[in-house]
Amino acid sequence: MTPALDERLSRLKTELDDHSRIATYLGLDFERPIRSLGDGYPENAISWVGKITERILKQLWRHHDVPGDPSGKSLSELIKGCRTYISSGTVLDALGDIQRLRNRSAHDGYEIAEEDGLTAVRRLLDVLVWFAGTGSAALTGDVPRLAPLVAKKAEFLAGLYLTLGFRPAKRFELSAHTVYQLFSREIGLRTEYVELLLTRRIGELRQVLESTGGELLQTRLPKLTRFLVVDETDAEAEAFEDYRVVTYDRFMDTVVDLETHLDTVTEAHPALDAVPAQERLPLSADLLTTDERSNEMTLSRLGDAMNLLSEVALTGGNLLVVGRSGSGKSTLLKRLVAAGRESNVRRYRFYFDMSLKRKDESFEDFVIRTLADCMAVETSRVFDVFHYFARSGSVVCALDGIDEAVSETTLTGFLDLFAELSEILSADSAVIMSSRVSFLEDSPEVRRLLDGSALMSEKLVQHLHAQGVDPLKIPRFSVLRMHDIERGEGEADSSPLELRLSAMLGMAAPLPELLWTHLERVTAAASLSEKFPGVVEYFGGAALQGHTTFTLIDVFNALGIDCFEGDQLTFEAFKLGALFRPVDDGRIAFRHSAYQELLSAEHLRHDRSAAGRLLSEQTRAFLHYRSRHDSGAEDCILEAGTYVVGPSHHLMLRTVDRPVRFDRHAVTVGRYKRFLAAVEPEGSSQWDHPEMPPEQTHQPWRDRLAIPDYYENAAYEDHPAVCVNWWNAYAFARFEGKRLPTSLEWEAAARGHDGRLFPWGDDVDLDAVNCADTWSGRPLVTYEVWKEELDRGGLRDATRVPVDAYPHNTSPFGIRQMVGNIWELTSTVIEETGDIVMCGGSYDNPFRAVLASSKGLYRRRGASNVVGFRCVEDLG
């Protein structure tokens, strides 16, 4: 054994001896790994470290009543089961290193060096330090002297310094309410020390010290920092000149410069305090919580939005705030964070404007960039400390605009983002997120994800476990749904942004018109009206590319020096500054993202070259508004061009290559009977699909008809042809010299150039469509409510109506009844399964399933009372 190794082993043995009480209590032999290293068998040392770690985790497992018997569990299974109860990232990393080293040592082909064995022992010490610092006699066998609350405080402080890279050097429990802790860490050749005395009051500490002769404070170790942590300070604190006296609830001030962070928030968002508190508009909201039995989101409270938000955030819990653009979500979150200055409950609150997170930037890097200037720790430790605070429930974490931080607004995009955010979720976390994307509230998959139920995405479950979080232990996410502000009888309700712009501009109008007017007036006031088309092209096009922040050099290169007073490239000299706010690194962003989304919608009206790009739901809504006066074709012709398609969480631009003429109505019983009469004499082989099964006929599947004489009774001649399959539809279309539309053509024809939600527009109108809600007489908001209505027989009378009914259900191209009544088959085939895509929803589907983007899959041979079709004719 070399002298250097001998010295390191001696030091490690001394540190292990500090935990001899744990060894005795759990029946562990800390000598074995040291002896194995001294004998030159590092692989044996690693094996012993693994066994010791397993024994410690089994103790933790039983103490917290983790389901299952830990006795037969592997190390990896024990780590996974216990991670929820370990807040310190340092300890989690140590467990991971021990597992990795033991796996390597147990497999042939890996050379295990002395350094690997030493690393394993060092990582074991990290685990032991944390284990001893839990303050739980049930875990460590110590005399139960500390009061539970004091033990919890001591554990939090110890975990913080472990996160900062310190190791506990000494710990003495002096009384039930007083504990002494000494920490050290090596920085190069220098050793740093931190000394903590945690007690209730100064007078009580004096009594304790007198009983011990005061020797505890006479240590000659150099102290970089000495803290006396008390519940409350008094005049006697001045007597402890060597100590910095702080109260426990303000101890985080030694690490976090909260004022700097809050100043950054208010400076970046000056509108926060622009309106006096007594003049602020009251914001109301619904609080939706998850029913424990059905997992459905149900309305639990209605009231002042700030009160509801504060109640959830400060009593412990996670929350999603949803509302349309300009509904006051950002202001609400910023006020919640700013109120931390005056609060003693979760005083430390962090605000993150997620719209400023760069697309290629991880959440960890974004946190570091945001908080580095307000944390008194090394930059490399910023996220670790924030992570520790968030997981321990010591802070409120407000993530504003998470829908603007995803790489793409799809379920996959949100899952990827949530996987990163899972790092800060725990049983004690208070994470407040906001989003304008209703998909987050409406999607069953995302609701399950937010609810923390067993039905959530397996991918996210794995990420949560990897971060030491038991998904079932995460508090269920509540949803705060923002309301518009009531304007009075006869006036439409408005969002706070609409009211503010109305007052500023002296006009009452919908949000898109107000934003557009403000854009025009600011541009005109800056004598830049001739550059307005360039503003639309540059900023609108940038939004479609995912760019939401800009340097002044970017703006200069795009719009010219005329946009700056005195040729100075500064924010103060920027003539359009009234529309923007400064952000970090000398960049600027719009004061409200709605401005840029309106510009992107206007850009799309005149330039559809961004085909394939994903759009936000707000951009789509603005496009619909800006295009409302555009002329539309009324002769059922879908022109070649680029159209907005896809569900709200996956909006995109897709190109139709050639024009087609749609049937104005779905194929009726009368039309289909004429086809049957024509093919009866000589057959249909000239029109049949080449892959159609030989036994297939074109007769309707009469045994399935809900109305037995549907094809014989003249009363149904103008009703849609149903109980026919895809082979029948294909042959019928060819018989008429036509074909079935693709699913892209069908959706584009239903939505028009503006990507509307329904053929008639964006408004919910139960009088315009034949669907389940119409027959029920009430909105069937969720699948569960619809299923309940179906099961109780509330939809027994629902049926098809004539194809020319509901005249308001007309697309911009004059095509009738494209949603509701019946699903319509298309020519689009899913290659992997052979299934056919159908569109539009039917009479027994709830309103939310009869959007113009609604799609389903159907078998080619399938036939149903709710499925029919219409045809198209190629024009070029």
Beta strand pairing call for 641-645 and 651-656:
antiparallel
Specify whether 466 is located in the same domain as 371.
yes
Cα separation, 147 vs 605, in Å, equals 68
pLDDT on residue 88: 75
pLDDT tens digit sequence for 291-347 = 655 555 566 678 888 888 888 888 777 888 888 888 888 888 998 888 888 887 888
Q: Does residue 639 form part of some domain?
A: no
- In the chain, the amino acid numbered 596 is Q
Radius of gyration of the chain (CA): 34
Adjacent-strand bridge partners of 810: 816
Token readout for 849 is 């399933």
Question: Beta-carbon neighbour count of residue 572 at 10 Å?
Answer: 10
Domain final position from 96, 123, 140: 140
pLDDT tens digit sequence for 673-694 = 999 999 988 888 999 999 999 9
Specify whether 381 is located in the same domain as 424.
yes
Q: Residue count of the chain, please give it.
A: 876
Q: Does residue 817 form part of some domain?
A: yes
- In the chain, the amino acid numbered 213 is G
Specify whether 264 is located in the same domain as 249.
no
Is the pLDDT confidence value at 669 over 90?
yes
Cα separation, 123 vs 752, in Å, equals 63
How much is the average pLDDT of 723-747?
A: 96
**Closest to 665 in 3D by CA, of 868, 513, 407, 395:** 868
CB 363 within 8 A of CB 433: no
pLDDT on residue 234: 66
CB 610 within 8 A of CB 542: no
Cα separation, 105 vs 299, in Å, equals 55
Specify whether 131 is located in the same domain as 153.
no
Domain final position from 482, 504, 521: 482
- In terms of phi and psi (left: phi > 0; alpha: psi -120 to 50; beta: otherwise), the region of 326 is left
Specify whether 772 is located in the same domain as 837.
yes
Cα separation, 180 vs 216, in Å, equals 9
Higher-confidence position of 178 and 490 = 178
pLDDT tens digit sequence for 775-823 = 988 877 666 778 888 888 888 889 999 999 999 999 999 999 999 999 9
How much is the average pLDDT of 8-30?
A: 78
Spell out a b/e string for 252-270, using b for 16 or more CB atoms within 10 Å of the CB, else e. Answer: beebbebeebbebbeebbe
- In the chain, the amino acid numbered 805 is A
Cα separation, 367 vs 386, in Å, equals 8
Cα separation, 426 vs 291, in Å, equals 21
Cα separation, 79 vs 393, in Å, equals 22
**Closest to 578 in 3D by CA, of 570, 568, 587, 590:** 590
Specify whether 276 is located in the same domain as 375.
yes
Distance set, CA 466 to CA 74, 183, 419, 675 (Å): 16, 28, 10, 61
pLDDT on residue 551: 92
Adjacent-strand bridge partners of 826: none
* pLDDT bucket at 841, cuts 50 / 70 / 90: very high
Is the pLDDT confidence value at 162 over 70?
yes
Domain final position from 254, 279, 313: 254
Mind giving me the DSSP string for 837-868? EEES--TTS-GGG-STT-EEEE-TT---TTEE
Specify whether 181 is located in the same domain as 109.
no
How much is the average pLDDT of 854-873?
A: 94
**Closest to 450 in 3D by CA, of 582, 550, 317:** 317
Higher-confidence position of 871 and 408 = 871
Distance set, CA 816 to CA 27, 635, 803, 813 (Å): 80, 11, 8, 9
Is the pLDDT confidence value at 1 over 60?
no
Cα separation, 269 vs 266, in Å, equals 5
Beta strand pairing call for 823-829 and 641-645:
unpaired
Q: Does residue 625 form part of some domain?
A: no
Element (H, E) at 439: helix 439-442
Q: Residue 200 half-sphere exposure, CB side, CA atoms within 13 Å? A: 13
* pLDDT bucket at 35, cuts 50 / 70 / 90: confident
Q: What is the CATH number of the domain that holds 673?
A: 3.90.1580.10
Three-state SS for 660?
strand
Specify whether 720 is located in the same domain as 862.
yes
Place of tokens 């793409």: 408
* pLDDT bucket at 771, cuts 50 / 70 / 90: very high
Specify whether 244 is located in the same domain as 284.
no
Q: Does residue 649 form part of some domain?
A: no
Is the pLDDT confidence value at 519 over 80?
yes
CB 602 within 8 A of CB 608: no
Adjacent-strand bridge partners of 183: 168, 194
Q: Does residue 564 form part of some domain?
A: yes
Which residues form the domain of 282? Answer: 258-482
Specify whether 505 is located in the same domain as 582.
yes
Torsion angle of the four alpha carbons 588, 512, 482, 278, in this order, in degrees rounded to the nearest 10:
70
Number of domains in the chain: 5
Q: Based on the number of CB atoms within 10 Å of its own CB, is 37 exposed (0-12), middle (13-18) or buried (19 or more)?
A: buried
Give me the sign of the Cα torsion angle 104, 105, 106, 108.
positive
Cα separation, 790 vs 787, in Å, equals 5
pLDDT on residue 489: 65
Cα separation, 87 vs 828, in Å, equals 51
pTM, two decimals, is: 0.72
Higher-confidence position of 259 and 611 = 259
Q: Does residue 563 form part of some domain?
A: yes
Highest mean pLDDT of the ranges 214-218, 420-424, 474-478, 717-721: 717-721
Highest mean pLDDT of the ranges 14-28, 346-360, 431-445: 346-360
Distance set, CA 56 to CA 28, 118, 124, 680, 787 (Å): 9, 19, 10, 81, 49
Q: What is the CATH number of the domain that holds 391?
A: 3.40.50
Three-state SS for 649?
helix
Higher-confidence position of 787 and 838 = 838
pLDDT on residue 275: 45
Cα separation, 666 vs 784, in Å, equals 30
Q: What is the CATH number of the domain that holds 54?
A: 1.20.120
pLDDT on residue 178: 87
Specify whether 196 is located in the same domain as 127.
no
Place of tokens 């000598």: 31
Specify whether 429 is located in the same domain as 320.
yes
CB 440 within 8 A of CB 472: no
Adjacent-strand bridge partners of 549: 589
